[in-house]
Amino acid sequence: MSILFSFNAYTQSIVGKWKTIDDETGKEKSIVEIFMKDGKAYGKITKLFREPNEDQDPICDLCTDHRKDKKVLGMTIITDMVKDDDEWDDGEILDPKNGKIYDCKLWVEDGKLQVRGYVAFFFRTQTWHRVN
């Protein structure tokens, strides 16, 4: 019974590496590693999946905060997520493609990470897949 509980707790955890999938194109975009720091969850880009004709080491030239003109690889894009029951919220997520920062909510559903970025009542949700 404890083995099942441990496995279930692991599958529900957001901590670890996740493959991001573009919700518009269906293409793999990156690997984001979610980690804990001071009781909050953060996520940084550890790998990029780029087409041969794309910049292989892009910078966030459209960012407007301290990440402006910084390399996307290694960038923290999820910040200050706080656990609330089965969800994580009250934090933010950056889209390095357009430099925009959104309120964020994360939760695990069927072993996949649901990542929702939103402004007021408008939102988009992506499904990320755990990387073993």
Judged by DSSP in three states, 125 sits in strand
Split into its structural domains, the chain has a count of 1
Judge if pTM exceeds 0.75.
yes
Task: Output phi, psi for 41, to 5 deg.
Answer: -100, 140
pLDDT for the residue numbered 9: 43
Q: Which domain holds residue 31?
A: 2-131
Beta strands in 53-121 (DSSP E): 76-84, 87-95, 100-109, 112-119
Give the contacts of 40 (CB within 8 A, at least 6 positions apart). 79, 80, 81, 82, 91
pLDDT for the residue numbered 64: 95
Contact 22, 38 (CB under 8 A): no
Check pLDDT > 60 for residue 124: yes
Contact 96, 75 (CB under 8 A): yes
Domain at 79, CATH number: 2.40.128.520
Over residues 34-44, the pLDDT tens digits come to 999 999 999 99
